[in-house]
Structures are given as structure tokens and as C-alpha cells.
Amino acid sequence: MVDIPLAFLLFPCYNNGEGQVSQMEPFPRLEDLTLMDDYMFGTVMQDPKLIKPLIEFILDIRIKSVTYIEPQRSMKSGLNAKGVRLDLYVEDENGVVYNVEVQTTRRRSLPKRMRYYQAAIDMNVLSPGAEYAKLRRSYIIFICNHDPYDLGRYVYHFENRCIEQPDLPFGDETVKVIVNTQGTVGEISDELREIIKYLDDGTVSGAYSRELEDAVNQVKTSEERRHEYMIMMVRERELIDQGIEQGRQEGRQEGLAEGRLEGRAEGRQEGLAEGRINERIETIRKLIHSMHFTPQEAMSWLDIPPEEQAAYLDRLENGTT
């Protein structure tokens, strides 16, 4: 296997629309990732021997076996609804669903995000025409490197209950849990304390955290994982660049006079189409020079239709974008 450099991902730049080049936030190197990174977390936790005890220690339950694990699972709560991508989707032998996420950015919308994830999971597990009783028990677990409620607790558990009679559960069998790696308040098991410490600063203090550390290091030294990570980063950067360019073009076009509405729409579509082509050309060059793809392999990876590939090859050969 060849060594795949990450230089072209570390300092990505984009044109700010005024002839100036602005530096975007660099992607971290694979070697610098921790278990609190969603790629590392999803990769390591594909191992049932690692995700099973994590769920058990957080929820203080026992699971006989994990029967299904899917990292980076995409879902929608409806046909035209906003899509979500779950860090880790897990099912046990009883069909109970566990969604485990790592969250390193503080967001005030976290509770509503968890509500939306719950809706997406319910829509995806219930078959058309099935009875509501077929909805599965589910847990949405967010592991945060900050305290979203600033109360200092290690763990926050939430479930629906009657306000007038708090000991009466609503009975929808949904539970939402937030783990705070900065917590200091509350009674937790020694096992969960070990996990929280490892997630917070990488301290290995027991057998389980040693297993986690070994798994993380194995990912960091795997050429296959390095290649996979780079491909994911290139694709995400392409999507980000497309979003920036599309937003810029739409903003300019919205400033045109209403009498030029038709021309604005046509110009925007032409500009966006040309911009997407230029972005793809640049991505193809990166894949060729940094990952040793052939032009055909790069175009296939980008899902460029065969009938359009000749035009891309012509631009590549002529050095144009």
C-alpha cells in the first residue's frame, strides 16, 4: 500500500467571490482523532464487543447480544423531510434500538435535535400499514464533551411522564440520555467513570478503556482506514464547497431587479452548473495526484455519468476548469 498524504485536506481554501482566497477550517489528520470524533467513534464501535458494554454502562442495563450495527446511517422522518445521519445505529436481540452520538459542538438546539432523531428512527422502523404497537423501545444517547444544562451532572436521563402524577410513565418506550464528560455530580458506576475519563482526556484506567485505546490505535495505523477517511473528507469538502458557492450565487441573484427574474433564474442555473463542474475537476485532480486514482477511477467515484466523462477528460488534458 502507498502512503496517502493528507496535505491537500489540511489547509483547504475557497474563493470568497471577490477574487480573494480564504482559508477554511482544516480537517484533522487521522492520527489526531480521538474517540470523540464521529468517524473514529463509528469505526471503533462497529465491534459488538466494544459497543455492547458502552451501552450497558451508560444505561445500567444488561444486553444479551447486539444483533445489528450500522455507523453513519442516513434517515429521513418523511418523504420531503430533512435527512439525518446517525453516528451509530444499534439493535439488540429484542429489537430495541440504540442511537449513540458523540457531540463536540455546543448547540442550544440539542433537545430538539434528539427529538428529530427519534422521529426519524420511528419512521424508519415502522413498516407501512403496521400497527403503532410495533414501534420499538428506543434510546437516543448523546455523549457530549460539555454540559448542555450547566448543572454538573455526569448523566441526564429523560423520558415522558405525567406532570400531574410523575410516577406515571407515558408509555411510549422512548428514552433520551445525555452523557457529560465534564460532569462531577451524581452517582455513577466505576465502569462509567472509566469511560467518561477516557473520552474526556484519553486516560486509560482499566481493561475496557485499554480495549478502546487499542482499537483507536489500530484504526490510526490502518492503511485501509486512512484511505476510507480521506475519501470521506474529500466528499465532505466537496459538499461544503458546493454549499458555499450555491449560497453565494443565490445571494447575488436575489439582489437583481424583479424585472430580470427570468434571466436571473437562467443565469443562476448556468452558474451553478459551471461551478459544480469546476469543483469536480479540482476534486478529480486531487484524487489523481494525492491518492493515485486514474482519471476514470476518480470520475467513477464522483458518479460522473459515462457520457459526460469525455468533456471532463478534455478539460483535464487542457489544464482548464
Cα–chain-centroid distance for residue 84? 9
Most confident of the ranges 204-208, 236-240, 308-312: 204-208
Per the confidence metrics, is the pTM higher than 0.75? no
- pLDDT, position 125: 87
What is the spatial distance between Cα 103 and Cα 144, in angstroms, rounded to a whole number?
A: 5
Range of the domain at 86: 35-201
Judgement on whether residues 41 and 187 belong to the same structural domain of the protein: yes
Model confidence at 25: pLDDT above 80: no
Return the C-alpha cell found at 147.
Answer: 454540559
Most confident of the ranges 235-239, 247-251, 299-303, 311-315: 311-315
Judgement on whether residues 159 and 120 belong to the same structural domain of the protein: yes
Q: Strands 138-144 and 66-76: what pairing?
A: unpaired
19-28, 105-114, 129-138: least confidently modelled range: 19-28
Model confidence at 4: pLDDT above 50: no
DSSP annotation of 140? E
Single residue among 169, 201, 233 that ends a domain in this structure? 201
Judgement on whether residues 146 and 23 belong to the same structural domain of the protein: no
User: Which residues partner with 13 through β-bridges?
Assistant: 23
Q: What are phi and psi of 14, to 5 degrees?
A: -145, 155
- pLDDT, position 29: 86
Judgement on whether residues 180 and 230 belong to the same structural domain of the protein: no
238 domain residue, yes or no: yes
For residue 110, give the H/E element and its range: helix 110-125
User: Which residues partner with 185 through β-bridges?
Assistant: 153
164 domain residue, yes or no: yes
Average model confidence (pLDDT) for the chain?
82
8-17, 142-151, 189-198: least confidently modelled range: 8-17
Judgement on whether residues 194 and 50 belong to the same structural domain of the protein: yes
Judgement on whether residues 50 and 189 belong to the same structural domain of the protein: yes
For residue 298, give the H/E element and its range: helix 295-301
Q: Model confidence at 50, in pLDDT bands (50, 70, 90)?
A: very high
